[in-house]
């Protein structure tokens, strides 16, 4: 069912054209032990991402807040062609035994996409991974380095890339996100 939706909505094929698909099923990275959803809430800036999307917006940030029903309000914004664009989604912990494995959706007609917190110290950085298997033949994945600040020290970014790599996540094509001239957001 999940795959059906993804294919019907045409999300997969454009992505495959935009990046080299990885053969085989998704890697299974470790995730942040003893993950605290509460500490993760709040504002995060996108520092770097995979795949490279040069045409996309800049100043991308997301504000996570807990709703009273324990779901997560996911409010993202970016500046695209000089305009602030906002999108709101919903996040959930999909498996209470694995609280660092969140699912996020931006539309009630779409299934939750994985949003796994691979590692975070809550106050500086967070490493997020999302991967979807396609027929177990190959997988399409996304990875983000998030920061509480609009920039992170180079050493933190290097360490983040290493962490992804040791979890079998290929981040050679990861590119920095533009976070300059962002006064217009929020
Ligand atoms: C994040 O969202 C909450 C709830 O809507 C709001 O109170 C808070 O001001 C927001 N923070 C930022 C930085 O936008
Ligand atoms: C955030 O960045 C600003 C300027 O880029 C810097 O002055 C500040 O120390 C940073 N804060 C943290 C917590 O790293």
Lowest model confidence (mean pLDDT) among 31-35, 54-58, 125-129: 54-58
**pLDDT for position 185:** 46
CB 132 within 8 A of CB 142: no
- The residue whose CA has the least distance to atom 1 of ligand 1 is 63
Segment among 2-11, 34-43, 60-69 with least mean pLDDT = 2-11
Domains and CATH numbers, the chain: 36-176 (2.40.128.20)
The answer to whether 12 touches 99, Cβ cutoff 8 Å, is: no
Picking from 22, 60, 9, the residue whose alpha carbon sits closest to that of residue 171 is 22
Identify which ligand lies nearest to the alpha carbon of 44.
Answer: 1
pLDDT tens figures, 107-160 = 888 889 999 999 999 999 999 999 988 888 889 899 999 999 999 999 999 999
Q: Give the ligand 2 atom nearest the CA of 123.
A: 13
Give residue-wise pLDDT tens across range 67-118: 999 899 999 999 988 889 999 999 999 989 999 999 999 888 888 999 999 9
**Cα-to-centroid distance, 186 and ligand 1 (Å):** 9
The H or E element that residue 165 is part of is helix 154-166
d(C-alpha 120, C-alpha 111), whole Å: 25
Distance from the alpha carbon of residue 165 to the mean position of ligand 2, in angstroms: 27
What does the DSSP 8-state code read for residue 24?
S
Whether the CB of 151 sits within 6 Å of ligand 2: yes
Q: Which of 62, 75, 87, when mutated, tests ligand 1's pocket best, judged by the most ligand atoms within 8 Å of its CB?
A: 75
Asked if residue 184 lies in contact with residue 78, where contact means CB atoms within 8 angstroms, the answer is no
């Amino acid at each position: 069912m999940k795959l059906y939706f993804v294919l019907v909505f045409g999300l997969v094929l454009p992505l495959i054209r935009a990046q080299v698909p990885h053969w085989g099923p998704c890697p299974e990275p470790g995730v942040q032990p003893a993950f605290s959803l509460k500490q993760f809430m709040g504002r995060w800036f996108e520092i770097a991402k995979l795949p490279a999307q040069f045409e996309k917006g800049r100043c991308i940030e997301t504000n996570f807040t807990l709703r009273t029903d324990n779901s997560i309000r996911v409010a993202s914004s970016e500046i695209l062609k000089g305009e602030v664009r906002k999108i709101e989604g919903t996040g959930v912990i999909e498996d209470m035994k694995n609280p660092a494995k969140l699912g996020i959706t931006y539309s009630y007609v779409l299934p939750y996409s994985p949003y796994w917190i691979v590692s975070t110290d809550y106050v500086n950085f967070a490493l997020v991974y999302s991967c979807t298997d396609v027929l177990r033949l190959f997988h399409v994945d996304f990875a983000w380095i998030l920061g509480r600040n609009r920039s992170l020290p180079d050493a933190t970014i290097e360490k983040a890339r290493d962490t992804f790599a040791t979890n079998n996540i290929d981040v050679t094509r990861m590119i920095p996100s533009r976070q300059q001239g962002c006064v217009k957001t929020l």
